[in-house]
Structure 1
Amino acid sequence: MKGLLKEKNFSFAVDCIIFGYDGQDLKLLVIKRSFEPFKGKWSLVGGFLEDDESAEEAAVRVLKGLTGLDGLYMEQLHCFSEPKRGGAERIISVAFFALIDIQKYNQQINEDYHPAWFSINQLPELIFDHSAIVELAKEKLRYKAALHPLLFELLPDKFTMPQLQSLYEAVYNMEFDKGNFNRKLLSTKLLEKLEDKDMLNSKKGAFYYTVNLKKYSAGFKTFLNFVSSQYINE
C-alpha cells in the first residue's frame, strides 16, 4: 500500500494526427514547436490536459484551437507511455487521429501555430516519438478504411471517381484497377451520381458523385473487400 501513496511526477497530454486530402495526395498537418526542447522543430499538434477535462475533451479543444472547427471526425488511437518518450520530463500521451478536407477548411487553420501540410510519404523529421505515432495512425487508418467508408470525411461534398481512387491509392500506397475499383464502389450503393462533370482534368469529363448520407451513417460490415486482407485481419 505504501507504493500507492508515493507521489509520481509526470504529465498527461494529447497528440493529434491530422490527415487531410488535397485532391491529389494524402497529407499530414504538422506545426513548428514554439518552446524548448526542440523549439522550431516539426511536431504533431498537441497539448496538456487541463484539470477538469478528459483526454477526448482535450483533443477536441486542441483541434478547435488549430482549425476553429467542431465536429471533425476524430478517433482515439493509442496511449503512449514509454518512460523516456518525453525527454527529461515523463509525459503520457493519448493520441487521436482526425480527418479533414484540406480544400474546405485550409483557410481556417490558425497560422499562429506555423502549420504546414506534408505528403504522408515525404514527412520531415518529427520530435520525440511522433514519427512512430504517425506510422501507427497510418496502419489504423488503412485498417478502418478497409471496413468502413470513413475516407469520405477527407473528400469535398462532390467528387469524381478518379479523385476517390487517387485517395485510396494514397492511403494504401498501391494502385487499384480502375474498372474493378469503380465496380466495387458503385455496388455499395453508397454513391449518388450527379448530372454535372469535372471538365478540367479530362477531355471527356468525369461525372461528379456525392455520398448518400443515410447509408453512410448506417456503416458497412465489410466495405471494400478488394483491399488486401492484411489490413482487415486482426
Structure 2
Amino acid sequence: MTTSAQHHKQPWSKKLLIGFLAASTWISGFPVAGQAYSQESSHVGSDERVRTLVISEILYNAEGSDDGTEYIEIANLGSEPIDISGYLLGDEETEGGGEGMFAFPAGAAIEAGRSIVVAQSSLINKEKYDYTPDYEFPQVERYNPLDDPEVPNLTAAEWAEGTVILANSGDDVLLMDQELNVIDYVPYINDTEFGGQIVKAAPPLAQLGESLQRYYLTGDASRDFISQ
C-alpha cells in the first residue's frame, strides 16, 4: 500500500514492500534471469540474486508533465547486502539500441530488506513527491536539466546510447549485472519477446499518477504488479 504526504506520491516499498513480498508466493523464476543475455537465451537462471533482487516499482506516467518525474525502485528481499556496483538499469533490452541503460557507480549497494530509488531527475522528484531518491540518471536537457549534487548519478554504459524515458504507451525496464546477466526484466502494457520468450507485461495504470507496484513474485509481471 502506498502512503503519501498530502497529494505527494512517494516510492511505496521503503516501508512495506519487503515484509509483504516475503510472504508472497514464489513460482518459477524471471524470464532469462541469471543468464548472460543473448537474443537466443531462453533459460531461467538459478542465481540467488534472481530470488532476492527485484524491480519493485515503476512510475512512468505522472500527473502533469512527465519530464523528470519518472522513477524506478529496486528491492533486496534477501538477508544479506548486495553490491550492485556496475549493474545496469534502463529501458533498452537490445545492445546498441537507442534507449537508455546506465551503470551504478562503484560502492553502490542495497542493504538486506531495503530498497533504492533511481529517479529520472532527483530535483524534480524532490519537488513533486517530497522525498529524496538514492540515485538519479545522468543530467540531460529536458528530463534532468539540473544535476543534484546531493544524489549520486548512474553513469554511461556501452550497452546503449540513449536516455531512459519510460513510454506512457508501453515500455520495459531491465536490470543486469556487470557480466550482462539478467537479474530482472519487467515489460509493461505490451507483452514482448525477450531472450527468445514471450514475456507477459505488467498491466497499464488504473489511474493517472499511480505507479506499478510489485505485490507478488510469480515471475509473471501481468500477475505480480498492480497499479496503486
TM-score with structure 1 setting the length: 0.26
Structure with the greater relative contact order (CA < 8 A, sep ≥ 6): 1 or 2?
A: 2
Q: TM-score, normalized by length of structure 2?
A: 0.27
Please say which structure displays the higher CA radius of gyration.
1
Greater fraction of residues in helix = 1
